Amino acid sequence: MPIISELTIYPIKSCAGIALSTAVVTQAGLTYGGVHDREWMLVGTDGLFLSQRELPGMARLRVSVKADALCVDTDGKATLYIPLQRDVRAMQTRVKVWDVELSADDAGDEAANWFSSALNTTCRLVRFSTEAKRFANTKWTGDTLAPTRFADGYPMLLIAQASLDDLNRRAIAQGRHAVPMNRFRPNIVLAGIDAFEEDYAESYLLQNGIQLRPVKPCPRCPIPAVDQVTGEVGDNPVDILQSYRANPIVDGEITFGMNVILIQGAGKQVQIGDEVDMPIAF
């Protein structure tokens, strides 16, 4: 029986994730302790989002939730505390995620200075505005409007543990090192299914009446080459996937994992060990 083996949220886009034992499922992704997945992100002076693609050192920025604050740590710097309570006086700024422009709340000069110093580049931290609207591409979600925040495109990413195991067997056979799941930054990991079986699911039926639907295979970028502890760039495991994971559904791009949306069960809790019914699409 498939079970949930890992749950992770990434409060700040492209910074370190927080491994969870339990989370709440919402239409816009997982949430925990009042903190939402990809609720914050860093932007350059032009308002365009920053990620590990150009700043791999973002992986070294560790995030945690404590009481009423989001805490960010990295070696050699004092902890940054970001209040969870919204500042009604926060300056609104225009930001861009890929081809979508929207309004966000600026997190202030203290946060901007902290991140600029940590990454040695001028940047600002922004928070997804309560008034902002952003939806996954309806080319893939159909009639379902799936809200998302600052994720690349979809509210949740799901990967089977066996898919990573398959990749690592091939890597070791080539004399390369195995890589951990965090290189691929999923929200949900499933154990108990075959490698890449997640690609063929019609839906994922979780406990508490939660139903997720896979909508698009996830094309992979250079980020899996980044060590998520050190921020160092090494061999990209996507190079190995190129030999067997080119997907005609997305014009031959290399895919690993499935982007999923919530169909029902908003506000319900999910936890590690929960069983998942996974009917296969025909």
Is residue 282 a part of any domain in this protein? no
47-57 pLDDT, tens digit per residue, is: 999 999 999 99
Q: Report whether 256 contacts 159 (CB < 8 A).
A: yes
Counting Cβ atoms within 10 Å, is residue 262 exposed (0-12), middle (13-18) or buried (19+)? buried
132-167 pLDDT, tens digit per residue, is: 999 999 999 999 999 999 999 999 999 999 999 999
Q: Are 191 and 259 in the same domain? A: yes
Q: How many domains does the chain have?
A: 2
32-77 pLDDT, tens digit per residue, is: 998 999 999 999 999 999 999 999 999 999 999 998 999 999 999 9
Q: Are 176 and 201 in the same domain? A: yes
Share of the chain residues as helix, strand and coil, in percent rounded to the nearest 5:
20, 35, 45
Is residue 278 a part of any domain in this protein? no
Q: How many CB atoms lie within 10 A of CB 135?
A: 18
Q: Which of 35, 11, 8, 36 is nearest to 22 (CA)?
A: 8
Domain boundary among 128, 160, 182: 128
200-231 pLDDT, tens digit per residue, is: 999 999 988 999 999 999 999 999 999 999 99
CATH classification of the domain holding 194: 2.40.33
Is residue 277 a part of any domain in this protein? no
Is residue 53 a part of any domain in this protein? yes
Is residue 279 a part of any domain in this protein? no
What's the predicted TM-score (pTM) here?
0.97
- Check residue 63 and give its pLDDT: 98
Q: Are 98 and 151 in the same domain? A: no
